[in-house]
């Protein structure tokens, strides 16, 4: 019983700060976009608009949840809950600091793959259960997009795992004590980051939510808390991809320089995630939306061959120098 209570408390210690971070991610996005577009952004609710995320959350919580009469009501309600719940699963193995990890398992990379692959089910279920052609088309687009770019992400991660000699995220971070992987694998970092944009349906790859064509995509029939849960799941996935970029290529919680070890490791991890969050937002302001055929061509005809060739090259180099870590 005490073990169960202790585990629940550890989960809450991760989930509550994560939800707060997601809420203020939305504020940071609106503020940064406003600065880029030379306007103010939210500035009424609280000092400098700091209470705006809480106001938005309360508004969505109090709104009526409308269920279309022709929908599959059980699946319609289940879809946003499934999407949000799955987005939280991977955080149990993310090392937030040197010792700040809920479950330090040896196959944490495979666990993240398994958990992230479930996210497509919530989107497919939402599009199908809504009984709307716009929602269903948006769900099909999103599923095809996520599956297409997961292949490239998988090859990139396999290369990092081969070089680190472990599926454990902590070991991958320790393998970067000499030099971060972004230095040795800069093309792979670019592939991973762009694929992460497509995986999370963000600009310039937000085609499942293209307003001009699909009237908001798979979540078009949702209101109130259902819509809020989809948004929370999307922003949680963006934070997760930012964390993976940090762990795989930027040394995780390692400081920029060894003489800065006196600062908490969680500070460095948060700072690097903040950098990627800013990149996600800047991409939304800087680039126009891709066409769907361009999106698929980029994934299957460019990223997949390049990442596969990089995998073979890395493997042959390690074999040639007898430096395979396993």
Gap between the terminal Cα atoms of the chain: 40
Residue 109 has pLDDT above 80, yes or no: yes
Instruction: Flag the least confident range among 89-98, 256-265, 270-279.
Output: 256-265
Most confident of 52-66, 134-148, 304-318: 304-318
Please, what is the average pLDDT of the chain?
Answer: 84
Output the pLDDT for position 192. Answer: 92
- Asked if residues 243 and 273 have their Cβ atoms less than 8 Å apart, the reply is yes
Residue 141 has pLDDT above 70, yes or no: yes
Most confident of 14-18, 160-164, 286-290: 160-164
Output the pLDDT for position 289. Answer: 82
Instruction: Flag the least confident range among 93-102, 146-155, 170-179, 268-277.
Output: 93-102
Confidence (pTM) = 0.89
Output the pLDDT for position 168. Answer: 87
pLDDT band at 68 (very low <50, low <70, confident <90, very high): confident
Distance CA 22, CA 84 (A): 12
- Mean local confidence (pLDDT), 206-232: 76
Residue 73 has pLDDT above 80, yes or no: yes
Distance CA 234, CA 200 (A): 7
Output the pLDDT for position 323. Answer: 63
Please enumerate in sequence order all residues whose Cβ is within 8 A of that of 40, keeping only pairs 6 or more positions apart, or say none.
34
Output the pLDDT for position 138. Answer: 81
Query: What size, in residues, is the chain?
Result: 326
Say what percent of the chain tops pLDDT 90.
7
Output the pLDDT for position 190. Answer: 92
255 DSSP 8-state letter: -
- Mean local confidence (pLDDT), 140-168: 87
Q: How many CA atoms lie within 13 A of 238 on its CB side?
A: 28
Residue 214 has pLDDT above 80, yes or no: no
Instruction: Flag the least confident range among 24-33, 62-71, 231-240.
Output: 62-71
Cis peptide before 10 (omega within 30 of 0): no
Residue 173 has pLDDT above 80, yes or no: yes
Place of tokens 């307003």: 211
Distances (CA, A) of 181 to 106, 107, 165, 187: 20, 20, 14, 10
- Mean local confidence (pLDDT), 183-192: 90
Which tokens is 69 given? 């009469």
Q: What is the CA radius of gyration of the chain?
A: 20
Residue 139 has pLDDT above 80, yes or no: yes
Output the pLDDT for position 106. Answer: 84
Distance CA 243, CA 269 (A): 8
Output the pLDDT for position 208. Answer: 66
Residue 63 has pLDDT above 80, yes or no: yes
**Closest C-alpha among 246, 251, 142, 137 to residue 202:** 142
């Amino acid at each position: 019983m005490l073990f169960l209570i202790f585990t629940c408390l550890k989960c809450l210690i991760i989930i509550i700060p994560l939800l707060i971070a997601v809420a203020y991610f939305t504020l940071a996005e609106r503020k940064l976009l406003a600065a880029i577009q030379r306007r103010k952004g939210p500035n009424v609710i609280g000092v400098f608009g700091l209470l705006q995320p809480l106001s938005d959350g309360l508004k969505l919580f109090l709104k009526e949840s409308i269920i279309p009469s022709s929908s599959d009501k059980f699946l319609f309600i289940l879809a946003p809950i499934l999407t949000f719940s799955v987005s939280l699963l991977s955080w149990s193995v993310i090392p937030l600091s040197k010792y700040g990890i809920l479950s330090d398992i040896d196959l944490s990379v495979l666990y993240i793959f398994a958990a992230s692959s479930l996210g497509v089910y919530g989107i497919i279920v939402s599009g199908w259960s809504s009984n709307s052609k716009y929602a269903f088309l948006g769900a099909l687009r999103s599923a095809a997009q996520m599956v297409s770019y997961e292949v490239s992400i998988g090859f990139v991660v396999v290369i990092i795992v081969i070089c680190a000699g472990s599926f454990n995220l902590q070991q991958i971070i320790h393998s970067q004590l000499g030099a971060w992987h972004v230095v040795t694998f800069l093309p792979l970092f670019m592939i991973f980051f762009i694929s992460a944009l497509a995986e999370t349906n963000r600009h310039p790859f937000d085609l499942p939510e293209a307003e001009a064509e699909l009237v908001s995509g798979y979540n078009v029939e949702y209101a109130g808390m259902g819509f809020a849960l989809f948004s929370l799941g999307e922003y949680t996935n963006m934070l997760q991809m930012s964390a993976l970029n940090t762990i795989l290529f930027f040394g995780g919680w390692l400081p920029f320089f060894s003489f800065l070890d006196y600062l908490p490791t969680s500070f460095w991890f948060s700072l690097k995630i903040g950098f990627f969050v800013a990149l996600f937002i800047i991409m939304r302001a800087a680039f126009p939306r891709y066409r769907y055929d361009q999106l698929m061509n980029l994934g299957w005809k460019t990223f997949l061959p390049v990442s596969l060739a990089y995998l073979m090259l890395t493997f042959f180099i390690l074999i040639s120098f007898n430096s395979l870590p396993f």
